[in-house]
Structure 1
């Protein structure tokens, strides 16, 4: 019996430590590229050669395509990592788009990437990642855009991949890229009344990815969440998000805790930079290490080899995290 128990403990130990068997890196998702000492230290210890930097968003406002939040850089920024530009494009950008507009969009995005990489003195750009929650109705135009951008840039074009795009691959289509980044977060809407963690619910993840081993693109990297937020609910049941709140932040004299991750505002005032009224409820969502480990153990059974890219590099989210080294 002791031998059986010992073997079980060893299996459990090695299963939980599979998190550390993967090279890991980070997304940087702010409009100004600047690193605090703690962020730079964690980044330089990471084992993926790239830093995935959000360059800008693209949206269609009125009838015009607009870049939003174009990246800038602090003078003292430095890193040994190679920069991978990440461009987030709203799905509505591709709604009812004309062929000529697809060409224009690819050309405009390529030119802005080139201009910013020269301006910010980034070297050896070999990959461009596009982040878009495309749908069945926009897939053809989005895929055509990816091909156009590849032809213009002569770079490796990669795409993010959301959970529903894996589960419904016959309807959602397969992007014309050789490598995708599977976003293992946002498993549900934070604005729904639910007991599930909307950032990452393991059972939901397993349901959506039950057949991921049969996805036609075999080069799959995994994006895992380390961020947190607070979901504030007012008297009318309406919600809003406050970024970067942790459960420990609920230990406030003007908050009454009703569980480990929930509290009620006891009096009107400013909390976390927002004015909240008495009676408002705050629910914190964050991802413990054991949840990330469970996700990786599951994915190890489905995908032969992958890197882990954590979302996102921020001092508030990397504290007390045990990253693979």
Structure 2
């Protein structure tokens, strides 16, 4: 009996197969040596590239595409040389789905397919293995969004670019926790976005990008989520500006740690301005507060360990992405750190 108990306790779960990739979220695909080298060193073979956004027109009548992708020919050549696959991503705002009937959504699916074809022609891309739709849908827009996904799939089946491709959708944390209300999208697989989880506009929030305790509040039932899931983790940082305890916006161009010490007092990750000042063409006033948020190596490791353990057993193969590929962010997250995060998902 003791031998049997000892033997069973030493059994290991089979390791998970992990594919590696990054998001690229700029309107021009232009890669420098640092980005190419990082992809090569990490053996990351999948680059999820935002091709365009779909948002409401300025007049509020119907959704329109904006921020259309352009690409540097040298960057495309380098990606092909490294056999790095491009996966097109289309970002759709939730607001653009609020007032669309089935006819309008069918037309939107056709417009999406047409623009994907046009951009792909410029990129000299002949075929893709996957198309991803990124939308933070809600219970209110669920019906329209899921109908749109069906229509997008119909367009894919008629296109040489996507005829044999998977259709995936991004999944936010609240869409896992409240899946009974928000529903399960009609796609082949999902991409779990493990960032932007806190209340950005709340002055009391510590880090709206990623906190493990906040992650656990949403993903307790992750192992029963029915879709196969890939996972995205954040590498980015930003500062959040508050004035008189009111949210004023995200500040990307100012890192508070580089400010002269004489103009602020610091409490944890909050920088309280002591004087009026202008930095990077942004006006700050005495009493303003900048809350600096980042995704540290320690927090990312804790998050990766938790998610890897919670993923459903159906996820014997998963793709891990970092958001996003950028030389400055890569300089703050060295290769060995990212390698450790990728490797963490082999364990179950």
Could you tell which deviates more after superposition, 129-138 or 233-242? 233-242
Could you tell which deviates more after superposition, 228-237 or 56-65? 228-237
Deviation at 1:71, TM superposition (A): 0.6
1:113-167 deviations in whole A, cap 9, x for unaligned?
Answer: 0110111223432211000011112112211211211121123211000011101
Could you tell me which of 38, 41, 52 is aligned with 2:34? 38
Could you tell me which residue of structure 1 aligns to residue 309 of structure 2?
A: 301
What are structure 1's unaligned runs of at least 5 residues? 1-17
Matched residue of 2:339: which SS?
A: coil
Could you tell me which of 259, 270, 276 is aligned with 1:268? 276
Query: How do 1:140-179 and structure 2 match up within 5 A?
Result: 140-153=143-156, 154=163, 155-179=165-189
RMSD: 2.1
Q: Normalization by structure 1: what TM-score? A: 0.87
Q: Does the 8 Å contact 1:228/1:244 carry over to 2?
A: no
1:147-205 deviations in whole A, cap 9, x for unaligned?
Answer: 21112112321100001110111111111112110001111221112243111121111
Whether 2:115 is the aligned partner of 1:112: answer yes
For the structure 1 residues 136 and 255, does the alpha-carbon distance in structure 2 shift closer, same or farther, using more than 3 Å as the test? same
Q: Does the 8 Å contact 2:88/2:130 carry over to 1?
A: yes
Could you tell which deviates more after superposition, 38-47 or 51-60? 38-47
1:43-80 deviations in whole A, cap 9, x for unaligned?
Answer: 22333421000111001221122111111112432313
Matched residue of 1:86: which SS?
A: strand
Could you tell me which of 265, 290, 300 is aligned with 1:292? 300
Aligned residues: 305
Could you tell me which residue of structure 2 aligns to residue 58 of structure 1?
A: 54
Could you tell me which residue of structure 2 aligns to residue 324 of structure 1?
A: 339
CA distance in 2, matches of 1:89, 1:254: 43
CA distance in 2, matches of 1:86, 1:196: 30
Could you tell me which of 238, 244, 252 is aligned with 1:235? 244
CA distance in 1, matches of 2:303, 2:236: 16
Structure 1 residue ranges (4+ consecutive) displaced by more than 6 angstroms after TM superposition: none
Could you tell me which of 181, 184, 193 is aligned with 2:191? 181
Q: Does the 8 Å contact 2:26/2:50 carry over to 1?
A: yes
Q: Normalization by structure 2: what TM-score? A: 0.82
Could you tell which deviates more after superposition, 32-41 or 168-177? 32-41
Deviation at 1:307, TM superposition (A): 2.4
Could you tell which deviates more after superposition, 273-282 or 67-76? 273-282
CA distance in 2, matches of 1:187, 1:100: 34
CA distance in 1, matches of 2:284, 2:262: 11
Q: Does the 8 Å contact 1:254/1:265 carry over to 2?
A: no
What are structure 2's unaligned runs of at least 5 residues? 1-14, 157-162, 341-348
Could you tell which deviates more after superposition, 69-78 or 85-94? 69-78
